[in-house]
Amino acid sequence: MTVPSSQAGSQAGASAPSIGLRLRRLRTGTLHFARRHPTGAFGAAVLLIVVLAVLLAGFISPFRYDRTVSAMVQAPMSESIDGRTLLLGSDELGRDIVTRLLHGGRTSLLVGITAPLIGVSLGTLLGIASAHYGRLFDLLSQRLVDTLLVLPGLVLAMAITVAFGFTTLVVVIALAVNVVAGTARTVRSHALTLTQMQYVEAARATGVTNRRIILRHLLPNSMAVSIVLFTVSIGSAITAEAALSFLGLGIQPPTPSWGNMLSNAQTFFDLGPHIAIAPGATITAVVLAINLFGDSLRDVLDPRLRGRR
Amino acid sequence: MQAYVARRVLILIPTLFLLGTLLFLMMRVMPGDIALALTAGEFGSIDPEEVERLRVELGLNDPLYVQYFRWFGEIVRGDLGFSISEKQPVADILFDKAEVTLSLAVLSVFMALLWALPLGIIAALWRGSWVDQVIRIITAGGLAVPGFWLGIVVLLLLVRIFNWSPPVQHVSVFSDPLTAFQRLIFPALVIGYRFAAVMSRLTRSTMLEVINQDYIRTARSKGMGSYVVVIRHALPNAFLPILTVSALLFGVLVEGAVVIEQIFALPGIGRQIIASVNARDFIMVQGIVMALGLGLMLWVLFIDLMYARLDPRIRYE
């Protein structure tokens, strides 16, 4: 007997879905998410547009972020030297604000995404290890977490950047440190309930190694919590970077960031309020979009947190 | 109860010790030192002999561990050290500046709770209605707006549109409360916005949990007015989680103060931290952060102890 080829194909498809099927699933999944959580979908759409715009900064804007293109502090919709329209005007050095927003967004989003990514990853591992190994390791790591939680995040970040230099890498690390402690605390309490589960007990009883218990049981089951913490942290990381750079203790000019674009805002507000309003409004809009998306994501990924908004 | 307090106080010691060690190490990595900063002349000219003399005088040439133990010895005796850039003992400066920051913090929390609690309760009672949506937008804004930017905008709107600027001269809350209030109210509102956003969301969610409890239904079915049910039955039970989070938001207040004091030119601890960091006065920075850390830990302990008062079901073993 020969098996019809189409049937064989579908059997193979059951174990490893084809790309077409995956795409269809992704599409229905996305549509379902958009219908159930319109605000979350709106946030995601805004984010997608911002990320694309920032990545394509060089194609979108004809100007360079560090070149003077007009007289200083020109109002929005005024003209540059070579006769182009400056949509949001120019800043105190006559540089195009739209171009600086696009390029500044690269820095701000890079910091805003990598810092929580590093912080949440380390925090998750620390939290899980703390819950799994317990005893002395738990005690010591929790005292470290206590210590970090005691420090106001911005002050700690300031101390780190002043000590190690005002480079993007140091700013990322400084902000990541802030995320580690909070994540470790939350993930630890979640993982503690996991370690009491029967399947973990069964794994331990059959002699499964620590490494495997952590990687196969504890880590996957903590992912939902970590992903939610990650999205929530992006918004605060972007704001924190802005505050640091605004104070002159973060990203340094000429590299633009949404924060350091505001460092002269107070001085020039009288001449051109748009210098201050554009970056601030951008930060607000982006963080709002992230929070809307994060809230909806939390509802989907972590049903226990539902209703706690 | 006493054993519990004793244990909690004991646990403060290793945390403070670790905090001190971390701080000490971090401050020594800082490039540039105070001896250089102090002796630099008007045009950045430096007299190497003078720098050396100062380094010896300040003990900066001693091995790191000697400096470390000396500093710890002083801390243990309650001496936070002497600020070279301010030419005053650190504790005195802290004491001076604490008044501004504390009154700012208290006013922020008070103003925030004044509107956050009612908003949260209303949002919970009218869940899903347009009122709830409007309140959600207001709170979502509070979480998204960078505080320092809001501060700049508020300050300049006051100056430009209302032609009103806050009093420039700083006065003590105790000697001239009205002027001090005028000076602090807008920074407090700005700091409080973020705080209020978190509080009102939390109030809404805890109220929603409480409102669905049996005893609320019982109270309603006995014919109690909904106002009485909310105030007498629901609110006290929703208060505990609100209190917990407000304790943890101390950090939000300090961060707010650091930036907002800078913008509104308030001579508080936040402004002092930035000035000291820029002056490379690490003794001062260490002192401020240690004091802040201790303050936060005692505050959290206080809140934990308050639980027993607010909820008689909680017992400390």
pLDDT tens, position by position, A272-282 = 788 888 888 89
One DSSP character per residue, A228-242 reads HHHHHHHHHHHHHHH
The pLDDT value given to residue A303: 56
Query: For residue A50, which residues of chain B lie inside 8 Å, CB to CB?
Result: none
CA B192 and chain centroid, separation: 11
Enter the pTM of the model. 0.82
Residues of A in contact with B241 (CB under 8 A): none
Task: Spell out the residues 6+ positions from residue A87 whose beta carbon is closer than 8 angstroms to its own.
Answer: A76, A77, A97, A98
Nearest by CB to residue B26, choosing from A160, A235, A277, is A160
> If we measure between CA atoms, which residue out of B3, B5, B91, B1 comes closest to residue B300?
B5
Query: A292 to chain B: which residues are within 8 Å by CB?
Result: 140
Give residue A116's pLDDT band: very low, low, confident or very high (50, 70, 90). Answer: very high
Enumerate the β-bridge partners of residue A79.
Answer: A85
Give the ipTM.
0.79
Give the best residue of B26, B149, B193, B242 to mutate against chain A (max A CB count within 10 A): B149
What is the residue-averaged pLDDT of chain B? Answer: 79
CA distance linking residue B102 with residue B134, whole number of Å: 32
Burial tier of B205 (Cβ tally within 10 Å: 0-12, 13-18, 19+): buried
Q: Are strands B88-89 and B82-83 parallel, antiparallel or unpaired?
A: antiparallel
Average pLDDT over residues B168-177: 71
Are B238 and B116 spatial neighbours (Cβ–Cβ below 8 Å)?
Answer: no
Option in A155, A273, A284 nearest B145 (CB): A284
Residues from chain B contacting residue A174 (CB–CB below 8 Å): none
Each residue's pLDDT tens digit, A2-57: 444 444 444 444 456 788 888 888 888 888 877 777 888 888 888 899 889 888 87
pLDDT in tens, B230-250: 777 777 777 777 777 776 677
Mark yes or no for CB contact A288/B153 under 8 Å.
Answer: no
